[in-house]
Amino acid sequence: MARVLSGIQPSGIMTIGNYLGALQPFVQRHATDECVFMIADLHALTVPQHPDVVRARTIDAVAMAVACGIDASRAIVFVQSHVMEHALLSWILTTMTTMGELERMTQYKDKGQGQVSVGTGLFVYPVLQAADILLYDTDIVPVGDDQRQHIELTRDIAKRCNQKYGDMFVVPQGQYVDRGTRIMSLVDGRRKMSKSDASEGAYIGLLDTPDVVRRKIGRATTDSGKDIVVDWEHKPEVSNLIELFAACTGQMSAHIVAQYEGVGYGAFKRDLAEAIVACVQPIQQTYARIRESGMVQQWMDDGAQRARSIARQTVRRVTERIGLVPGDGHLGV
Ligand code: TYM
């Protein structure tokens, strides 16, 4: 049985990109593996946020993770800041990471671009993510393609620590799905679909109503032609809509291309919108039931307790190897 871990920042209502690229593949491993899912609230603090917004979004994210199919009684679902070992291991790993490695991270470059001063949290963000993963002796990390660089860094840090201190960490592997690992913005096919995009038309939120989905897909950027073909270089937006269609319905892109040959964008977009509605509606119904049930706090508490018991063992192993004196409290001894 592999240990599988993934996480999401509570930085807005999850998008269909989050679902298809990460949540759905994570849920598919439930039956066979030991699954750990984390709401990365400490990561969300790396960009300015109102405290009330962080609080509300964290709770929304737990409810949404479960609505997407994560079974909180089977998988461990928890909030990152509830397990203090993340911050401790993150600091230890920071001492094992170079400036050069972090400077090469594209997410830091993108998010920091144009800012007069960039917070150090944004800079060391990938180290905290490495701690999230290594704390749980994780084998597999199902994530979208945009996380590839962070997973590679985590592997490098783990290998470096293992070389220096003997086998300290499991070296994890990223898992990237074939369809849906990189859903792009609906208005700019060269940018990732993101829940923090300033333009709502750029993404499909998992709570978007059928009418909103239809409107957003209807207005999604295409081009002046009418060919429905996968051509990422010349037709990134249409290629993205085909990819989205394929990921929502579990079909191959080639099948969709063949089906809509010579049909034009109108009918294609109408069917795509209905496919998205069919994908998100069951999630919305479950989400509404969860919000009424008042179960979220109990899941968070239970998840934190179970996560902590694994994290503490790792911290004990790590601190001993690197020479920190065992003590009360933070070392969990
Ligand atoms: P976040 O919150 O940006 O996204 C959560 C997950 O959704 C995937 N994803 C996408 N997949 C396909 N197409 C898209 N347009 C798209 N947008 C997002 C992301 O790749 C991710 O898998 N740093 C992480 C959160 C995190 C984490 C971790 C993940 C913190 N610690 C440890 C895995 C393991 C993040 O910001 O994800």
- Asked if residue 260 and residue 171 are part of one domain, the reply reads no
Instruction: Report the distance separating Cα 276 and Cα 110, nearest Å.
Output: 29
Nearest CA to ligand 1 atom 1: 8
Mutating to test ligand 1, I would choose from 8, 27, 76 the residue with most ligand atoms within 8 A of its C-beta, which is 8
Residue 149 lies in a domain: yes
C-alpha of residue 143 to centroid of ligand 1, in Å: 6
Contacts of range 54-57, beta carbons closer than 8 Å, 24 or more positions apart: 54/10, 57/10, 57/11, 57/12
What CATH number does the domain containing 260 carry? 1.10.240.10
Nearest CA to ligand 1 atom 31: 129
Instruction: Report the distance separating Cα 6 and Cα 56, nearest Å.
Output: 21
Residue 166 lies in a domain: yes
C-alpha of residue 224 to centroid of ligand 1, in Å: 33
pLDDT at 112 (0 to 100): 76
User: What's the number of domains the chain is made of?
Assistant: 2
Residue 63 lies in a domain: yes
The catalytically annotated residue of 109, 195, 226, 235 is 195
- Asked if residue 173 and residue 53 are part of one domain, the reply reads yes
Nearest CA to ligand 1 atom 19: 144
pLDDT at 19 (0 to 100): 98
DSSP reduced 3-state for 79: strand
- Asked if residue 130 and residue 16 are part of one domain, the reply reads yes
- Asked if residue 105 and residue 15 are part of one domain, the reply reads yes
Instruction: Report the distance separating Cα 140 and Cα 160, nearest Å.
Output: 19
What CATH number does the domain containing 73 carry? 3.40.50.620
Pocket of ligand 1 (CB under 6 A): 5-9, 17-18, 21-22, 40, 43, 129, 132-133, 141, 143-144, 146-147, 180-183, 192-193
- Asked if residue 307 and residue 258 are part of one domain, the reply reads no
DSSP reduced 3-state for 114: coil
- Asked if residue 60 and residue 158 are part of one domain, the reply reads yes
Residue 41 lies in a domain: yes
Whether 111 is a known active-site residue: answer yes
C-alpha of residue 321 to centroid of ligand 1, in Å: 31
| Angle, alpha carbons 129-185-152 (nearest 5°) | 25
User: Would you give per-residue pLDDT tens digits along the chain (333 residues)?
Assistant: 999 999 999 998 899 999 999 999 999 998 899 999 999 999 999 988 899 999 999 999 999 999 999 999 999 999 999 999 999 999 999 999 999 999 999 888 887 777 778 889 999 999 999 999 999 999 999 999 999 999 999 999 999 999 999 999 999 999 999 989 999 999 999 999 998 888 999 999 999 999 999 999 999 999 778 899 999 999 999 999 999 999 999 999 999 999 999 888 999 999 999 999 999 999 999 999 999 999 999 999 999 999 999 999 999 999 999 999 987 665 554
Whether 195 is a known active-site residue: answer yes
- Asked if residue 227 and residue 139 are part of one domain, the reply reads no
Residue 85 lies in a domain: yes
DSSP reduced 3-state for 17: helix
- Asked if residue 139 and residue 116 are part of one domain, the reply reads yes
- Asked if residue 158 and residue 96 are part of one domain, the reply reads yes
pLDDT at 333 (0 to 100): 46
Q: Which domain holds residue 49?
A: 3-181+294-322
- Asked if residue 218 and residue 130 are part of one domain, the reply reads no
pTM score: 0.96
Q: How many CB atoms lie within 10 A of CB 97?
A: 17
- Asked if residue 314 and residue 285 are part of one domain, the reply reads no
pLDDT at 331 (0 to 100): 52
Residue 201 lies in a domain: no
- Asked if residue 307 and residue 261 are part of one domain, the reply reads no
Instruction: Report the distance separating Cα 205 and Cα 240, nearest Å.
Output: 16
Nearest CA to ligand 1 atom 14: 17
Whether 159 is a known active-site residue: answer no
Alpha-carbon dihedral sign for residues 245, 184, 15, 307: positive
Residue 221 lies in a domain: yes
Closest approach atom of ligand 1 to CA 203: 15
Residue 329 lies in a domain: no
